[in-house]
């Protein structure tokens, strides 16, 4: 240790003025470089923090955009529902439906008995509680327009009704054959009104073997 101190004293005492200046500049440069490195490290950390915040901000911005888009969609849906409800509340148009049967053609004709057009008309015919007699997508039916539905089942229904009547008569019951052979159907009609409201109507109808429709062939 004493030798190092003696060497250091000898080294310092041997320095000239220029050497002192060189040493001073060297030390100052070293100090500046250390300070610069330290600030550079801080700057890098700040840059990393800034980038991280920017990424988070980007994610939050995307989330905000998604939420805004969803809010806009909900608003549009609410407006559509409101407009539809307003249409329904103003839709006072009365539609009337009826049905005829032609025994020769084994066909039923559904009539739109009002001066308004019915759109996307659907027909469903049911016998008894749940026996499907037939169905049809009739498309659009204009004012006082008609749509025919033909099925061999209708002849079967007449034959079944006749068999029941004959059996009852054989057991002693009185049968009024002048009323003809008949069968019942429940008819369901669905359609869209001229104002865009989806409607439905249900009615029951009795058909007989003596029923005929003028001009039925034009509808089949």
Domain at 157, CATH number: 2.60.40
Chain segment 31-59, per-residue pLDDT in tens: 544 444 565 565 566 657 656 655 666 65
Contact 195, 93 (CB under 8 A): yes
Greater confidence (30 vs 201) lies with 201
Same domain, 23 and 111: no
Average pLDDT, integer, range 151-155? 93
Same domain, 153 and 73: no
Same domain, 68 and 125: no
Average pLDDT, integer, range 131-152? 91
Same domain, 45 and 149: no
Q: Is 192 left (phi over 0), alpha (psi -120 to 50) or beta?
A: beta
Residue 140 lies in a domain: yes
pLDDT exceeds 80 at position 213: yes
* Per-residue pLDDT, 67: 66
Give the lowest-confidence range in 87-101, 146-160, 162-176. 87-101
pLDDT exceeds 50 at position 138: yes
The boundaries of the domain holding residue 206 are 97-212
Same domain, 108 and 157: yes
Note the helical H segments in the chain. 2-13, 17-90, 153-170
The total number of structural domains that make up the chain = 2
Average pLDDT, integer, range 98-125? 95
Q: What is the mean pLDDT of the chain?
A: 78
Sign, CA dihedral 209-214-219-220, equals: positive
pLDDT band (50, 70, 90) for residue 117: very high
* Per-residue pLDDT, 35: 47
Same domain, 24 and 67: yes
pLDDT exceeds 50 at position 29: no
pLDDT band (50, 70, 90) for residue 153: very high
* Per-residue pLDDT, 11: 47
Average pLDDT, integer, range 189-212? 95
Name, in order, each residue with C-beta under 8 angstroms of 113's C-beta and a sequence gap of 6 or more.
96, 97, 98, 144
pTM above 0.75, yes or no: no
Residue 19 lies in a domain: yes
Contact 116, 122 (CB under 8 A): no
Average pLDDT, integer, range 175-187? 92
Average pLDDT, integer, range 110-136? 91
* Per-residue pLDDT, 24: 47
Average pLDDT, integer, range 199-208? 96
pLDDT exceeds 90 at position 87: no
Give the lowest-confidence range in 3-12, 18-27, 80-89. 18-27
């Amino acid at each position: 240790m004493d030798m190092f101190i003696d060497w250091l004293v000898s080294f310092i005492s041997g320095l000239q003025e220029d050497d002192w200046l060189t040493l001073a500049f060297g030390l100052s440069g070293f100090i500046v470089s250390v300070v610069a490195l330290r600030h550079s490290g801080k700057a890098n950390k700040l840059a990393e923090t800034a980038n991280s915040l920017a990424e988070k901000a980007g994610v939050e911005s995307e989330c905000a955009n998604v939420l805004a888009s969803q809010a806009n969609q909900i608003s549009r849906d609410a407006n559509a529902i409101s407009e539809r409800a307003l249409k329904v509340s103003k839709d006072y148009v009365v539609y009337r439906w009826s049905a005829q049967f032609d025994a020769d053609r084994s066909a039923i004709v559904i009539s739109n008995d009002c001066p308004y057009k019915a759109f996307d008309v659907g027909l469903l015919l049911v016998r008894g509680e749940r026996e499907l007699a037939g169905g049809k997508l009739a498309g659009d039916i204009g004012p006082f327009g008609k749509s025919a539905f033909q099925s061999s089942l209708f002849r079967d229904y007449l034959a079944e009704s006749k068999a029941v009547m004959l059996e009852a008569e054989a057991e002693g019951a009185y049968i009024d054959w002048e009323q003809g052979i008949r069968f019942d159907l429940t008819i369901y009609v669905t359609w869209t009104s001229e104002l865009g409201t989806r409607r439905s109507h249900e009615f029951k109808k009795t058909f007989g073997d003596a029923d005929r429709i003028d001009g039925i062939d034009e509808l089949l």
